[in-house]
Amino acid sequence: MKFVDEFRDPELITRTAAEIRRLADPQRLYRLMEVCGGHTHAIYRFGLKDLLPENIELVHGPGCPVCVLPMGRIDDGLAIASDPNVIFTAFGDMMRVPGAHGSPLQHKARGVDIRIVYSPADALKMAQANPSRHVMFFAIGFETTAPSTALTLMRARALGLRNFSIFSNHVTIIPAMRAILDSPDMRIDAFIGPGHVSTVIGCRPYEWIAANEHKPVVVSGFEPLDILQSIVMILRQLNEGCAEVENQYRRVVPWEGNRAALKAIDEVFKLRSYFEWRGMGFISQSALAVRESYAEWDAEQIFPTSGLRVTDPKAAQCGEVLKGVLKPSQCKLFGKECTPEMPVGALMVSSEGACAACYTYERRRHYLVSAGA
Ligand code: SF4
């Protein structure tokens, strides 16, 4: 398959891994953060860490939108769903995310009308098919998914559809990267930049990281060779003492981003002054709220919610894992109280969550090794 087979070519991967070993200075420790949860998943899935020398450490970043959503937002969304006239819709990976009183799936089992959709447009169609009910879409994601939510609201307004709204939990990646760089317990040498978000925002928004923080950023694709090539590009920069933004994922990411998608976001959304990120606290200007001009389709304005802050269970160490301070398996609950079947934290829910990826692939590998396969 084009753009898959050549990026999984064993010979090229072996050669690129050898180049990484040649470039890595044995006297130095390299800490590279993969910002995107899709990269975390690919790194575990393809066992890429096994191809790297020990002094290259991959640190998982905050780029899984389900994982960074604080519990209070889930509770607020579910409070809206408790209105018998409301149909709560969300993507499937939201369904098992725990709130203080259970996940959306557990609420569904208690009789709340909660349905999985594959896109906000599906939720809009549901509203058209159920004119006597109110369909609320629990919108989540970075700049990658915000354009489709924005276009759906523009469509709802064009149709004059009044029984549809969104509960916006869209977040933006750059303020989170700034918060990581400002964090005192964080030492990152470079970023493997998020490929999906960058298809929308382009590469320019990372330039301050290279210019002001002197950290290389290489926007990367998601196949094994993409990630290994990105590491080669980063090592070359670090060895030469330079810091630039480079685009390894040129086959998908335009340097200037997607202007039409950015325009749609700007039409419908404005920046919130601050927003809570699970494990990272409040980050200013890091999330999107619906503009006043679309207030009639804004669930937060239609259904007042408590907005209460809900803390994670005390033993859960999601915050430390999200900030890259701990590895998933170092959390006290990992694989015991917290598993993909019975998640305590959101990082164990989404396939892009570091804990879920680690649990799925590392445990399988240990099983195969111990079985002599
Ligand atoms: S194992 Fe569970 S509780 Fe611990 S960090 Fe991961 S998701 Fe959070």
Q: Is the pLDDT of residue 369 over 60?
A: no
Q: Is the pLDDT of residue 371 over 60?
A: no
Same-domain status, 232 and 279: yes
Q: Which pLDDT tens digit goes with each residue over 110-136?
A: 999 999 999 999 999 999 999 999 999
Q: Which residues form the domain of 326?
A: 318-363
Same-domain status, 257 and 134: yes
Q: Is the pLDDT of residue 109 over 60?
A: yes
User: What percent of the chain has pLDDT above 70?
Assistant: 97
* Residue 228 belongs to a domain: yes
* Residue 16 belongs to a domain: yes
* Residue 369 belongs to a domain: no
Q: Give one DSSP letter per residue of 231-287, joined into a string.
A: HHHHHHHHHHT---EEETTTTT--TT--HHHHHHHHHHEEE-SEEEETTTEEEET-B
User: What percent of the chain has pLDDT above 90?
Assistant: 74
Q: Is 202 in the pocket of ligand 1 (CB under 6 A)?
A: no
* Residue 370 belongs to a domain: no
Average pLDDT over residues 190-196: 96
pLDDT of residue 84: 96
> Counting atoms of ligand 1 from 1, which one is nearest the CA of 316?
3
Same-domain status, 113 and 231: yes
Residue 356's closest CA among 36, 31, 37?
Answer: 37
Q: Is the pLDDT of residue 43 over 80?
A: yes
pLDDT of residue 284: 95
Average pLDDT, the chain: 92
pLDDT of residue 183: 84
Q: Which pLDDT tens digit goes with each residue over 217-243?
A: 999 999 999 999 999 999 999 999 999
Same-domain status, 52 and 131: yes
Which CATH number is 57's domain given? 3.40.50.11740
C-alpha distances in angstroms, 246 versus 188, 220, 369? 17, 9, 38
pLDDT band at 355 (very low <50, low <70, confident <90, very high): very high
* Residue 371 belongs to a domain: no
Cβ neighbourhood burial of 146 (10 Å; 0-12, 13-18, 19+): buried
Lookup: tokens for 345: 């934290």
pLDDT of residue 321: 87
Same-domain status, 216 and 355: no
d(CA 45, CA 183): 29
CA of 60 to the centre of ligand 1 (A): 13
* Residue 266 belongs to a domain: yes
Same-domain status, 268 and 231: yes
Q: Is 123 in the pocket of ligand 1 (CB under 6 A)?
A: no
d(CA 262, CA 370): 50
Among 272, 296, 312, identify where a domain stops.
312
Q: Is 349 in the pocket of ligand 1 (CB under 6 A)?
A: no
Q: Is the pLDDT of residue 191 over 70?
A: yes
Q: Which pLDDT tens digit goes with each residue over 323-332?
A: 778 889 899 9
Q: Which pLDDT tens digit goes with each residue over 61-96?
A: 888 888 889 889 999 999 999 999 999 999 998 998
pLDDT band at 56 (very low <50, low <70, confident <90, very high): very high
Same-domain status, 236 and 292: yes
Average pLDDT over residues 293-315: 87
Same-domain status, 301 and 324: no
Closest-CA residue, ligand 1 atom 6, reads 355
Same-domain status, 204 and 223: yes
* Residue 13 belongs to a domain: yes
- Collapsing DSSP to helix, strand or coil, 121 comes out as helix
For ligand 1, pick from 327, 332, 355, 359 the residue to mutate: most ligand atoms within 8 Å of CB.
Answer: 355
Q: Is the pLDDT of residue 248 over 90?
A: yes
pLDDT of residue 368: 56
* Number of compact structural domains in the chain: 2
